[in-house]
């Protein structure tokens, strides 16, 4: 496993090549996965697995100081939810719990990306994810992205959902990671509101992540919305994730 260590104010020996274009680029794009407080013990193993499956994206683990505001932000989101009179979880049935603001993560992630020469930054948090989109507030989400290069992924409850689906925790985290990478580079992708056991289920009901983790596939209709070069990548990732747990999958 490749580790990239971020030291504030120190630029790493960033690759001299420019970031790949969305549909081109013969060199792999570099995706840094930054476990801020999710505690994914076997993260290097699952990133190695995803790397071995294809050559379009190269994953490395980012080691960086955790943004000091993460926990206090979570408290502030909880406070905000009380202020507006809706307990967190009211919309989804999840228990009241902490969320982090994706928007506070974004500038931190952009700094790390710039310093380390990353094409993607994927932050892993043990909290759920809250954000504002089109003026509306959302919370209790598994993921958020800026639509370009930065994603934050919630590992909250994911360990339980993985167990229920018969998967390992790190495979489930890998599942969430590859969905974000594919969505960032394929603007036609839609997280569909029906949860059918597809990588691109919206999972408005958090428990429904179990369906996706059981099957671990990109269903054919969704695969066709990927740009052609990404289709074998998507399939290879899903196959690798299924087989990571000793299953042949299908
Ligand atoms: Zn689908």
- Distance (Å) from CA 196 to ligand 1 centroid: 7
CA of 153 to the centre of ligand 1 (A): 19
List the Cα angle 16/18/22 in 5-degree steps.
150
Distance, CA 217 to ligand 1 centroid (Å)? Answer: 9
How many Å lie between the centroid of ligand 1 and the Cα of residue 100? Answer: 27
How far away, in angstroms, is 238 Cα from ligand 1 center? 13
Ligand 1 center to 212 CA (angstroms)? 10
pLDDT at position 4 is 92
- Cα 187 to averaged position of ligand 1 atoms, centre (Å): 14
What is the value of pTM for the model shown?
0.84
Give me ligand 1 centre to Cα 181, in Å: 15
Residues with CB under 5 A from ligand 1 (ion): 198, 200, 219, 222
Query: How many angstroms is it from 192 CA to the middle of ligand 1?
Result: 6
pLDDT at 130: 86
Domains of the chain and CATH, by start: 28-244 (3.40.390.10)
pLDDT (tens, 9 = 90+) of the chain, 250 residues, equals 789 998 876 666 545 444 444 444 568 999 999 999 899 999 999 999 999 999 999 999 999 988 766 655 555 555 555 444 344 444 443 434 578 888 888 988 999 999 999 999 999 999 888 888 888 888 888 999 999 999 999 999 999 999 999 999 999 999 999 999 999 999 999 999 999 999 999 998 989 999 999 999 999 999 999 999 999 999 999 999 999 974 434 3
Ligand 1 geometric centre to CA of 200 (Å): 5
CA of 190 to the centre of ligand 1 (A): 8
- Provide the pLDDT for residue 71: 55
- How far, in Å, is the centroid of ligand 1 from the Cα of 211? 12
């Amino acid at each position: 496993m490749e580790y990239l260590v971020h030291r504030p104010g120190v630029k790493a020996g960033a690759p001299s090549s420019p970031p790949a274009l969305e549909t081109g680029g013969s060199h792999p794009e570099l995706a840094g996965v930054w476990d801020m407080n999710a505690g994914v013990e076997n993260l290097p193993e699952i990133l190695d697995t995803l790397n071995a499956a294809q050559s379009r994206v190269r994953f490395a683990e980012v080691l960086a100081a955790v943004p000091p505001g993460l926990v206090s932000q979570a408290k502030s989101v909880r406070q905000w939810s009380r202020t507006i009179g809706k307990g967190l979880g009211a919309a989804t049935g999840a228990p009241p719990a902490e969320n982090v603001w994706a928007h506070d993560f974004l500038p931190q992630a952009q700094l790390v990306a710039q310093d380390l020469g990353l094409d993607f930054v994927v932050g892993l948090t043990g909290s759920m994810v809250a954000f504002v989109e089109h003026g509306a507030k959302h919370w209790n989400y598994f993921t958020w992205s800026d639509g370009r290069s930065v994603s934050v992924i919630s590992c909250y409850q994911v360990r339980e959902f993985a167990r229920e689906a018969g998967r390992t925790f790190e495979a489930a985290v890998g599942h969430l990671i590859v969905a974000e990478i594919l969505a960032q580079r394929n603007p036609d992708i839609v997280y569909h509101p029906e949860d059918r056991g597809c990588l691109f289920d919206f999972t408005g009901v958090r428990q429904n992540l179990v369906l996706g983790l059981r099957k671990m596939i990109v269903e054919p209709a969704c695969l066709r919305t990927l740009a052609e070069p990404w289709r074998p990548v998507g399939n290879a990732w899903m196959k690798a994730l299924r087989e990571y747990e000793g299953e042949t999958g299908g």
